[in-house]
Amino acid sequence: MNELIFFFNKVIVAGSVIGSIYAMGAIGVTLVFAILRFAHFAHADLMTLGAFFSYILVVAFPELGGFVGLPTGFVVLPVAMVLTAIFAIGLDKTFYKPLRDKNVKPVVIVIASVGVTLMIQGVIRLFAGTTSRNFFSVDGVAGKDIFRIKLPFEAASRKIFITEPQILLFIFLILAVGLLHYFLTRTRLGKAMRAMSDNPDLARVSGINTNVVVWTTWIIAGGLAAAAGTLLSMDVILKPDLSFNILLPIFAAAIVGGVGQPYGAIAGGFVVGFAETLSVFNWAILLRPFRDSIPEWIELPSKIAFVPTEYKIIVPFVLLIAILVWKPTGIFKGKVL
Amino acid sequence: MALLEAKGLYAGYGGMNILNGVDAVIDADEIGVIIGANGAGKSTLLKAIFGLLHVSQGTVKLAGKDITNMAPDKLVRAGMAFVPQEQNIFPSLSVEENLEMGAFVRRDDFSHLIEQIYGYFPDLAEKRNQPAGELSGGQRQMVAMGRALMIEPSLLLLDEPTAGLSPRYMNEIFERIIAINKTGVGVLMVEQNAKQALAIAHKGFVLANGRNRFTNTGEALLNDPEVAKSFLGG
């Protein structure tokens, strides 16, 4: 029983957490690709930046969370999302739109976004250095609540662990996905976004204001990136060098789900997240209860994991290749790259 | 006053002119048909009128108002709709969403228009919630025309509306074009099926090498032996 609870904590909870983060990032990457037809390499930096916006707001108003009984980082999140969305639109106007207007090939804009990612990383390091920061050590009111849930079984002495930021993350993701679904299927602008993803020339011929659609894309992508960055940093720690470590799994998630498909990005995020936690999990622990029934000449190793934790970054890519061999356009039929 | 008055148009790609001074004038209740050999500039003329190509010389007027080189979204607001030859639908959107996108510039209630279009094309009414990409070629063309009609245009530009369609759908599309025209919508279309198209045309424009070769009523062109010999396959 304890072994199963250990599995639940290490795989189900951890996989859902990282899967939610990947999903929120992948939605942004996939939407930017659907509308602007380029892979946005600076996306993970929008996450780091969004998390820093939240952190600065927490430092400036540390008491804010006390009014509603939630961590201050979560209370200031909407403001950080707005700031990041504005920043994303600014990036587009300064770097990507001038290139689009010149009708350059998409690969040129991809390279520009690599430049942008290095620039943002440099700026963040310039001001924040390389030290990690903890949201809860600057929060004036709340500490990080950890819920230890005891299951009503005799054999279950181990408890299920879940933290307040994790619960807030799940609630936020469910709300965000619901709102996004409503937006894409029920509103005029959301449908125009899908239309432009389908056929940009016809969208223009139909009189759809493509600039408004582009801004909306950056608002959604930037907002979700800020939320993912903040919620991840609240759960673990705010690292200035988050960027590349999270960018690659997010791209894997977007491609696995089907490029250009927001629902695919959510599925892809969880597939990649669970693949990571499942492959670094020590399966020997689940075998321990059967120790007595295993013949003596088989020696049970103390650790059976598919990949050592340090190498877990390879998991998304093995998975990516496997899924693309099986379904070349991803789980949800995506666009051809 | 003419509905559409294009005079002396010069336009092309990358500095090379494909149109060398083309005229096209139609009235509000008319169907105009553009025919000609491949490369004569038929589709280019439609694109130049709809602001998709830069017009270097000449003027385009819609109901007397100069619209030369106006951006497509402004033209849509001015009452001109364009149906491209290929990729003229949003494949992952449902039939009804395609129609809604045609009405993107409208802020009023357009549900009666959607019903009106289902009246024109009963095939579409049954498939209103199906992704348009799953429809047959003829039905897609209906979606494309329906999308363009959502702004209640005064002028409808059609680029080869029957290209690649079976004879059954071809006749149906021509019938619908006549019906739409009877409601007071001017139509200017490019057609490969020249005989059938001229038969329903009030005006025909025969282009060759980016110039007007013959311009007359559809009937007169059909009966002109020279046109018949060179452009209607004898």
Among B151, B152, B192, residue whose Cα is nearest residue B173: B192
- B158: CB partners within 8 A, 6+ apart: B83, B145, B177, B187, B188, B189, B190
Position A329 scores a pLDDT of 87
Contact A279, A211 (CB under 8 A): no
Mean pLDDT of chain A: 91
Q: State how beta strands B31-36 and B16-26 pair.
A: unpaired
Position A302 scores a pLDDT of 78
Q: For residue A145, is pLDDT > 80?
A: yes
Q: Which of the four pLDDT bands, split at 50, 70 and 90, describes residue A35?
A: very high
Residue B186 — φ and ψ, nearest 5°? -70, 140
- Domains in chain A, number: 1
Instruction: Look at A195 and B97 and tell me if their CB atoms are within 8 Å.
Output: yes
Among A77, A60, A42, A29, residue whose Cα is nearest residue A251: A29
SS3 B222: helix
Contact B7, B199 (CB under 8 A): no
CA of B144 to nearest chain A CA: how many angstroms apart? 10
Q: For residue A195, is pLDDT > 90?
A: yes
Boundaries of domain holding A153: 2-326
Instruction: Select the highest-mean-pLDDT range: A189-198, A288-297, A299-308, B33-42.
Output: A189-198
Residue positions counted in chain A: 337
**A205, A213, A329: best to mutate for the B interface, most B CBs within 10 A:** A205
A336 within domain boundaries? no
Q: For residue A292, is pLDDT > 80?
A: no
Position A254 scores a pLDDT of 95
Position A337 scores a pLDDT of 54
A240 within domain boundaries? yes
A206 vs B contacts (CB less than 8 Å): 76, 101-102, 104, 147
Q: Which of B93, B102, B105 sits opposite A194 (nearest CB)?
A: B93
Q: Give A234-275 as a 3 state SS string.
A: HHCCECCCHHHHHHHHHHHHHHHHCCCCHHHHHHHHHHHHHH
Q: What distance in Å separates the CA atoms of residue A293 and residue A297, rounded to the nearest whole number?
A: 12
Q: What is the value of ipTM here, to two decimals?
A: 0.92
* Least confident window among A17-21, A157-161, B104-108: A157-161
Closest alpha carbon within chain B to A334: B92
Q: Each residue of A199-220: pLDDT tens digit? A: 999 999 999 999 999 999 999 9
Query: A 177-216 residues with CB below 8 A of B?
Result: 188, 191-192, 194-195, 197-199, 201-209
Contact A194, B90 (CB under 8 A): yes
Q: What distance in Å separates the CA atoms of residue A52 and residue A132, rounded to the nearest whole number?
A: 11
More confident residue, A27 or A65: A27
Q: What distance in Å separates the CA atoms of residue A310 and residue A296, rounded to the nearest whole number?
A: 32
Q: What distance in Å separates the CA atoms of residue B137 and residue A234, rounded to the nearest whole number?
A: 53
A334 within domain boundaries? no
Average pLDDT over residues A174-197: 96
Instruction: Look at B91 and A199 and tell me if their CB atoms are within 8 Å.
Output: yes
Helices (H), chain B: 42-49, 72-77, 95-102, 111-120, 122-126, 137-149, 167-182, 194-200, 218-223, 225-231
A259 within domain boundaries? yes
Contact B141, B160 (CB under 8 A): no
What is the domain-level CATH number for residue A186?
1.10.3470
Q: Which CATH superfamily is domain B4-231 in?
A: P-loop containing nucleotide triphosphate hydrolases (3.40.50.300)
CA of A75 to nearest chain B CA: how many angstroms apart? 36
Contact A21, A246 (CB under 8 A): yes
Residue B129 — φ and ψ, nearest 5°? -100, 5
pTM (2 decimals)?
0.91
Return the percentage of chain A with pLDDT > 70, whole number: 99
Q: Number of C-alpha atoms within 13 angstroms, CB side, residue B7?
A: 9
Given a cut of 50, the residues of chain B with pLDDT beneath it are none
CA of A324 to nearest chain B CA: how many angstroms apart? 22
A337 within domain boundaries? no
Q: Where are the domains of chain B?
A: 4-231
Four-point Cα dihedral A213, A218, A223, A225, nearest 10 = 140
* Least confident window among A71-80, A99-108, A280-289, B73-82: A280-289
Instruction: Look at A207 and B97 and tell me if their CB atoms are within 8 Å.
Output: no
B86 vs A contacts (CB less than 8 Å): none
Q: Which of A202, A207, A209 sits opposite B90 (nearest CB)?
A: A202
A187 vs B contacts (CB less than 8 Å): none
Position B234 scores a pLDDT of 53
The whole-angstrom distance between residue A111's C-alpha and the CA centroid of its chain comes to 22
The percent of chain B in helix, strand and coil, each rounded to the nearest 5, is: 40, 30, 35
